[in-house]
Amino acid sequence: MNLDLDGFLARHEAELIHLRRHLHAHPELGREERESTALVARRLEAEGLRPRLLPTGTGLVCDVGTGDGPVVALRADLDALPLQDDKQVPYRSTTPGVCHACGHDVHTTMLLGAGLALAGQAERLPGRVRLVFQPAEERIPGGALDVIAAGMLDRVAAIYALHCDPKLDVGRLGVRVGAVTAASDSIEVRLTGPGGHTARPHLTADLVYVISRVITDLPSALTRLVDPRAGLSMTFGAVQAGTVGNAIPNSAVARGTLRVLDRTVWGEIPKLVERVVEHTVEPFNITPELDYRRGSPPVVNDEAATGVMAKAARAALGDAAVKQIAQSLGGEDFSWYLEEVPGSMARLGVRIAGTDLDLHASVFDVDERAIAVGVRVLAQTAVEALDFYGG
């Protein structure tokens, strides 16, 4: 099926850039994306489509096409991060302490653009394309679970998504079969004891010493208890214990994240962490409190679905545009969809020439030419997937 994307983008690219800037200037945190949801819904309704609000009150789903063939889903996320926007641009965030520093405004805009392009040729689609505008990707538990619980994956043959990559140039798409991002879990270890004088640590539980053992020994032990090919990383980012130098505190806490690329290891790791922590503190007569919070599993791209997206991208952008990408230890709740149906997430080049920005940075921004590229890839992927899964 030949899509007239050149014509569509000639008419709508400026509108899409304006919409992206509006979203960027008015970011909303997870499960608070009411204005963003309403904006997307109004634009879809203006095209004659019928978006459906999720039961949670934010986020929506909209089908394009009425054919009896397969249903293919395209997903974008709506939420922003609790981060100050430090850019000096006209579309800088107007909400203090909230910022689109991960590109979700771009994801939303690209999906809306792809949906509008497909709606213009809906009668020719050999099936339906389900547009999923998901809330709360940055939250735990993520909004993907809300979409699944609402039954929005019913009859879906495959699901696709793009994620901004500020390390890739505009016009490039990064694909990978298998694990492309990691599971990301949160860990808090809390120790309590009677406290005492630093002159007599043997008469109490020296919690500063013991929490330091946990911080060093847990990551080290896991590297010897887990297959190195699992891609596991345990890192602590915060520790609090005591206020003065000559008193042993009565509490200590360390917080960190555990990331792993192997789906099987992710399923087994909480019990292993509990065992290591207990054995580490056992000689000091301390009972630890371990709060292990599950995030989301690794994003494991399906081979066939990834092949469909790569083929579509080559058709839309040219053979040289598609490249193999490395795995990332970042987390993404798109993984929950892939627990239910085949699918693939690819990384879209958004790098601003001469910059070396990163995701979740307070100055994050994109080269807005990437929006048109993303619209091409998503729309072409939907058409290719309808043909593939309908055959």
Q: Provide the residue range defining the domain that includes 235.
A: 183-296
192 and 261 in a common domain: yes
- Residue that terminates a domain, selected from 261, 296, 331: 296
155 and 10 in a common domain: yes
138 and 21 in a common domain: yes
198 and 275 in a common domain: yes
What CATH number is associated with residue 242?
3.30.70.360
318 and 249 in a common domain: no
Query: What predicted TM-score, i.e. pTM, was given to this entire model?
Result: 0.95
List, in sequence order, every residue forming a beta bridge with 289; answer none if it has no partner.
Answer: 190
**C-beta of residue 241 within 8 angstroms of C-beta of residue 251:** yes
What CATH number is associated with residue 125?
3.40.630.10
What total number of domains does the chain contain? 2
Dihedral angle sign, alpha carbons of residues 326, 162, 3, 16: negative
276 and 374 in a common domain: no
| Tokens standing for residue 316 | 């839309």
List, in sequence order, every residue forming a beta bridge with 130; answer none if it has no partner.
Answer: 63, 73
pLDDT in tens, the chain (391 residues): 778 899 999 999 999 999 999 999 999 999 999 999 999 999 999 999 999 999 999 999 999 998 789 999 999 999 999 999 999 999 999 999 999 999 999 999 999 999 999 999 999 999 999 999 999 999 999 999 999 999 999 999 999 999 999 999 999 999 999 999 999 999 999 999 999 999 999 999 999 999 999 999 999 999 999 999 999 999 999 999 999 999 999 999 999 999 999 999 999 999 999 999 999 999 998 989 999 999 999 999 999 999 999 999 999 999 999 999 999 999 999 999 999 999 999 999 999 999 999 999 999 999 999 999 999 999 999 999 999 999 7
343 and 286 in a common domain: no
Q: How far is CA 79 from CA 88, 139, 185, 228, 251, in A?
A: 21, 9, 20, 34, 36
**C-beta of residue 219 within 8 angstroms of C-beta of residue 234:** yes
List, in sequence order, every residue forming a beta bridge with 254; answer none if it has no partner.
Answer: 189, 239
Round to the nearest angstrom and report the end-to-end CA distance of the chain.
Answer: 14
Neighbours of 199 (CB within 10 A): 9
List b or e across 245-258, with b for residues whose CB sees 16 or more CB atoms inside 10 angstroms.
eeebbbebbbebbb
| Tokens standing for residue 29 | 């945190």
Helix H segments across 297-348? Answer: 303-317, 335-338
Across the chain, how many H-helices and E-strands are there?
Answer: 9, 16
Pairwise CA distance, residues 391 & 388, whole Å = 5
Pairwise CA distance, residues 333 & 325, whole Å = 19
149 and 15 in a common domain: yes
List b or e across 40-64, with b for residues whose CB sees 16 or more CB atoms inside 10 angstroms.
bbebbeeeebebeebeeebbbbbbb
142 and 24 in a common domain: yes
Pairwise CA distance, residues 201 & 244, whole Å = 15
Q: Which amino acid appears at position 48 of this protein?
A: G
pLDDT at 270: 98
- Residue that terminates a domain, selected from 270, 296, 322: 296
171 and 56 in a common domain: yes
Classify 258 as helix, strand or coil.
strand
- Residue that terminates a domain, selected from 281, 296, 311: 296
61 and 36 in a common domain: yes
344 and 292 in a common domain: no
* Peptide bond before residue 342 is cis, with ω within 30 degrees of 0: no
Q: Which amino acid appears at position 358 of this protein?
A: D
Residue with the two structure tokens 């991208």: 313
List, in sequence order, every residue forming a beta bridge with 340; answer none if it has no partner.
Answer: none
